[in-house]
Every structure is written in structure tokens, then in C-alpha cells.
């Protein structure tokens, strides 16, 4: 790996780390999601420092160049992240739907006691 | 407005129907003593217009879709003691004068479900007729129930049937899901012909919605 590539990758990894820490501190990113991005930064860091690992991964996935292996890993990672976030969005949409309906019914007409009890 | 307290409620989900819902409610009041309008997060004056009439108005803070609004309305209706719910659209395409026919058929035939069936030769575009036919065919094939108009929103059902139908679709797939579940749960039903008045070609189920519904049919059959 060229020194310029190493420096650029290290800066990118460090920038991701700083961004995540600042987002957590500003409470814009919940801690339960932050670990994914901290792990991403750490992986970038490890690959830059330990180039042999990248060569090993390149051979493992059957890629001809280390850059191709990196692209494959990056695309796979982004696909997994998208699936994970889609699942989270689906769960939250369902929760929002249920909450909205419950709120509407609570604000709405009085329900018969027997029915309200049964629903609980 | 009927003076006697009836055992049924009319549930009308509404989204941005301020222009038309007034006329629908004015007519519906003549045939039902309990009408529940569920304003599904409209951005216009739908709720305010509905509140001018002697109806119960519920309001979703955000737009959830027709299926979710219908479910909220049904929960409220059965919670208030209704034994039967008549569901109808708020855009004026259904005639409120048909409400007694739904109730009468449900009671006389002693069925769980009465489904409205529109005449495809009146006002329906060819693509909608085709979509409806494909929907009917797939539901018959996968769920063992054949109905001529599975996406018509004008229908009546009992409390017992509602508990078995327990639809999950928040959007326009609700009608199809109800029919599919009726097939799975072996609920008894009859279809009655209804007249429809199409007032706005841009509202209601779009072609994209129709394709989503078709996808849902496969999902209910193979992914559940």
C-alpha cells in the first residue's frame, strides 16, 4: 500500500471516529447504533495498519487486486447496513402506527368498560 | 336521522376529503345513528367539516393509511357497543342509501360478511377491471374464496367476523386482505350489487397501489 493511501485511509478512519463521538455527545446518535460505525472506523484502521490482512482477504474472496476486495467488502457492508436499517424502520413504523391508533382511541369516544378491559 | 339507537355503526375512513365528506355524512345520517369518521391525518379541513355533523370524529395525528384508519374506527365502534360495522368510503362514490340493504342482508342471510360489488361496466377503466379480475383470480386460487369485486370498500361485517379478519395492512390492501382472511377463516359471506359514482380520477387506488396489493396476495400466501 502506498504511503499516500495509508495516510488518506487513516485520516478517513479517524474522521469517522470523531464524527461518531461528536454525534453521540450531541445525542443525535443513540449508543445502540453507534457501535456499528465505531466498528467501521476500527476496521478501516486495522486494514491500513495490517496490510497483510487485506492481502489475506483478497485471496480469500478470490479478487485479483486488494482494491477490488475492499470494494466487495464495502458494498457488502452497505447492503447489510441498509437491510438492518430497513428492519428498524419497519419496526418503528409499526410502533408509530400502533401508538397513533391507541392515542386516537384514547382521545376519542368513551368505550364500554367491559370492552376496554378485554382489550387490555 | 334514525331516532332509535341501532346495533350497527358506519365507519368512514377519510383522508383529505373536506370537499366531499359533508355530502356523504349528510346522507349517511339518514340511515345510521352511529357514524364514526376517522380522519387519517388529513392536511385539509376534513375533521372540521365532519364535526359539523352529529358523528363521532376520530383523528390520526399522522397519515397511516386506509386500513389503519378503518381498524381505528372499528375498534371505536365495537368498543361503543356496536355489533355490526358498515365500512364505506368518504369520497362519495358509495351511496349511503345502500346502508340498510347491507344490514338487512347481513341479518336475514345470517352471514359474517356482506361485500359490495360494483358494476365494472360503469365508470371503471379497463386497467382497473383487469386488476380486479386478476385480484379475484389470485384470491380464489390461493385462499379458496371467489368474490367478483375484492377491492370494493363498501362492506358490512359482524364483531365476530372483525375479530377473525384482524387485518394488518395499513393501506389500500385492506379490502383484499379482508377477503383473503375471510377465505382462510371460512367466514360466510354474500355479495350485493352496489352503484358507484366516480367523482375524482386521481383519488383512490392507483395502479402502483394495485401492484402492491398483488404483491401482498403472494406475501400472505407464501410468506406467512
What is the phi/psi pair of residue B58, to 5°? -110, 150
Are A115 and B79 an interchain contact pair (Cβ–Cβ within 8 Å)? yes
Residues A60-115: pLDDT tens digits?
Answer: 989 899 889 888 988 998 999 899 999 999 999 999 999 999 999 988 766 555 55
Are residues A104 and B80, on separate chains, in Cβ contact within 8 Å? Answer: no
Cell of B94: 358509495
B64 to A97: CB separation less than 8 angstroms, yes or no: yes
Q: Which residues pair with B87 in a beta bridge?
A: B11, B155
Q: Are B192 and B105 in contact (CB under 8 A)?
A: yes
Query: pLDDT by residue (tens digit) across B171-208?
Result: 888 999 999 999 999 999 999 999 887 765 555 566 67
Helix (H, G, I), strand (E, B) or coil at B5: coil
Give the residue numbers in B contacting A (CB under 8 Å), as ranges. 36, 38, 56, 58-62, 64, 68, 71-72, 75-76, 78-81, 170
For residues A9 and A41, give the distance between their C-alpha atoms in angstroms, rounded to a whole number: 10
Say which residue, A1 or B83, is predicted with more confidence: B83
Transcribe A59-113 into DSSP letters. Answer: HHHT-SSHHHHHHHHHHHHHHHHHHHHHHHHHHHHHHHHHHHHHHHHHHSSPPPH
E strands of B41-188, at which residues? 56-60, 84-87, 113-118, 155-158
Measure in Å the smallest separation between the Cα of B64 and chain A Cα atoms: 7
pLDDT at position B119 is: 83
Q: State pLDDT tens for residues B16-60.
A: 999 999 999 999 999 999 999 999 999 999 999 999 999 999 999
Mutate to test the interface with A, among B40, B67, B79, B171 (most CBs of A within 10 A): B79
Q: Which residues from chain B sit within 8 angstroms of residue A105, using beta carbons?
A: 58, 72, 75-76, 79
Smallest CA-to-CA distance from B87 within B148, B42, B32, B134 is with: B32
Residues from chain A that touch B36, judged by Cβ atoms under 8 A, are 109
Instruction: State residue A120's pLDDT score.
Output: 45
Task: Verify whether the Cβ–Cβ distance B58 to A97 is below 8 Å.
Answer: no
Using the predicted structure, report yes or no on whether residue A43 has a pLDDT greater than 60: yes
For the stretch B95-141, pLDDT in tens is 999 999 999 999 999 999 999 998 877 777 787 788 888 889 999 99
Helices (H) and strands (E) in chain B, counts: 8, 7
Provide the shortest C-alpha distance from residue A20 to chain B (in Å). Answer: 31
- When the pLDDT of each residue in chain A is averaged and rounded to a whole number, the result is 84
**Where is average pLDDT lowest: A66-75, B65-74, B151-160, B198-207?**
B198-207
Burial class (CB in 10 A: 0-12, 13-18, 19+), B139: buried
When the pLDDT of each residue in chain B is averaged and rounded to a whole number, the result is 89
Maximum average pLDDT range among A18-22, B63-67, B193-197: B63-67
Amino acid at each position: 500500500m502506498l504511503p499516500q493511501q495509508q495516510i488518506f485511509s487513516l485520516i478517513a478512519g479517524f474522521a469517522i471516529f470523531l464524527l461518531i463521538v461528536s454525534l453521540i455527545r450531541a445525542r443525535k446518535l443513540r449508543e445502540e447504533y453507534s457501535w456499528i460505525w465505531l466498528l467501521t472506523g476500527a476496521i478501516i484502521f486495522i486494514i491500513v495498519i495490517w496490510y497483510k490482512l487485506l492481502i489475506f482477504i483478497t485471496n480469500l474472496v478470490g479478487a485479483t487486486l486488494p482494491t477490488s476486495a475492499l470494494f466487495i467488502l464495502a458494498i457488502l457492508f452497505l447492503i447489510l447496513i441498509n437491510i438492518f436499517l430497513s428492519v428498524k424502520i419497519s419496526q418503528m413504523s409499526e410502533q408509530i402506527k400502533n401508538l397513533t391508533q391507541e392515542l386516537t382511541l384514547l382521545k376519542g369516544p368513551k368505550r364500554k368498560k367491559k370492552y376496554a378491559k378485554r382489550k387490555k | 336521522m334514525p331516532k332509535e339507537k341501532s346495533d350497527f355503526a358506519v365507519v368512514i375512513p377519510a383522508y383529505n376529503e373536506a370537499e366531499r365528506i359533508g355530502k356523504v355524512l349528510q346522507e349517511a345520517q339518514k340511515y345510521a345513528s352511529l357514524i364514526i369518521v376517522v380522519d387519517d391525518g388529513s392536511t385539509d379541513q376534513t375533521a372540521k367539516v365532519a364535526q359539523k355533523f352529529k358523528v363521532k370524529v376520530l383523528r390520526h395525528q399522522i397519515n397511516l393509511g386506509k386500513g389503519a384508519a378503518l381498524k381505528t374506527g372499528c375498534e371505536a365502534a365495537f368498543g361503543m357497543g356496536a355489533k355490526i360495522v358498515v365500512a364505506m368510503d368518504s369520497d362519495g362514490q358509495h351511496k349511503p342509501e345502500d346502508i340498510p340493504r347491507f344490514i338487512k342482508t347481513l341479518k336475514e342471510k345470517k352471514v359474517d360478511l356482506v361485500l359490495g360489488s360494483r358494476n365494472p361496466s360503469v365508470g371503471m377503466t379497463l386497467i382497473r377491471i383487469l386488476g380486479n379480475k386478476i385480484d379475484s383470480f389470485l384470491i380464489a386460487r390461493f385462499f379458496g374464496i371467489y368474490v367478483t369485486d375484492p377491492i370494493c370498500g363498501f362492506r358490512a361485517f359482524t364483531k365476530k367476523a372483525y375479530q377473525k379478519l384482524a387485518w394488518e395492512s395499513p393501506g389500500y390492501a385492506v379490502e383484499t386482505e379482508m377477503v383473503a382472511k375471510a377465505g382462510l377463516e371460512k367466514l360466510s359471506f354474500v355479495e350485493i350489487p352496489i352503484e358507484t359514482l366516480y367523482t375524482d380520477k386521481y383519488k383512490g387506488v392507483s395502479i402502483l397501489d394495485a401492484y402492491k396489493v398483488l404483491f401482498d396476495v403472494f406475501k400472505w400466501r407464501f410468506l406467512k
